[in-house]
């Protein structure tokens, strides 16, 4: 029973740390005027992957005495991203509702320009932007961000857990028994 409480407590702590890093990075992008630059935004993906891997390793080594199954590692990574996603979703609502509501219009303009560059007709662009406008609200963006966080956390955890998992030494019992036999 204690291991479950350690799992959720640790996932929440590491998720909050990761959310703090991602939010701080977003604030830096906002202040520097790069928040709409997708290429710079890819750094957040690297930060997320690093955060999950580091948290899985720390959890394995500090809480589970160096032993973690594949399933435990995957679950822990997903739980981390659940908590990080909740915090970043709240930040998204605050940013787009209170700090700078004009960012949504700027995002729409960037998207419309991208559609123009693809060579779409005016009618196609109008239809796409009509659909986009319905989804580009702070509430929808935060909900989609939360689901996106959990989904990306699942993908990253499925891969990273292959390398993070560490089973107990199966031969430890046999080695101990051999030591007992040699003492006799």
**For residue 154, is it within any domain?**
yes
| Domains identified in the chain, total number | 1
Nearest 10 degrees: Cα torsion 105, 111, 112, 115: -170
Which domain covers residue 64, as residue numbers?
2-98+139-166
* N-to-C CA span, the chain: 39
Going residue by residue through the chain, which has 184 residues, state the pLDDT in tens, using 9 for 90 and above. 445 569 999 999 999 999 999 999 999 999 999 998 989 989 999 999 999 999 999 999 999 999 999 999 999 999 999 999 999 999 999 999 999 999 999 999 999 999 999 999 899 999 999 998 889 999 999 999 999 999 999 999 999 999 999 988 766 666 666 666 666 6
**For residue 131, is it within any domain?**
no
**For residue 85, is it within any domain?**
yes
* pTM of the predicted protein model: 0.86
């Amino acid at each position: 029973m204690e291991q479950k409480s350690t799992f959720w407590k640790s996932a929440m702590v590491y998720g909050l740390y990761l959310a703090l890093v991602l939010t701080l990075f977003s604030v830096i992008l906002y202040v520097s005027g790069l928040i709409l630059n997708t290429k710079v935004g890819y750094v957040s993906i690297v930060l997320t992957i690093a955060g999950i891997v580091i948290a899985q390793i720390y959890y394995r080594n500090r809480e589970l005495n160096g032993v973690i199954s594949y399933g435990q590692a995957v679950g822990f990574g997903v739980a981390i991203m659940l908590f990080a996603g909740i915090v970043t979703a709240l930040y998204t609502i605050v940013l787009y509702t209170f700090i700078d509501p004009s960012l949504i219009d700027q995002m729409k303009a960037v998207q419309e320009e991208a559609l123009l560059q693809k060579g779409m007709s005016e009618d196609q662009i109008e239809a796409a932007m009509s659909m986009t406008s319905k989804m580009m609200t702070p509430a929808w963006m935060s909900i989609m961000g939360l689901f996106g966080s959990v989904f990306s956390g699942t993908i990253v955890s499925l891969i990273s857990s292959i390398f993070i998992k560490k089973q107990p030494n199966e031969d430890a019992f046999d080695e101990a028994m051999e030591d007992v036999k040699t003492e006799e």
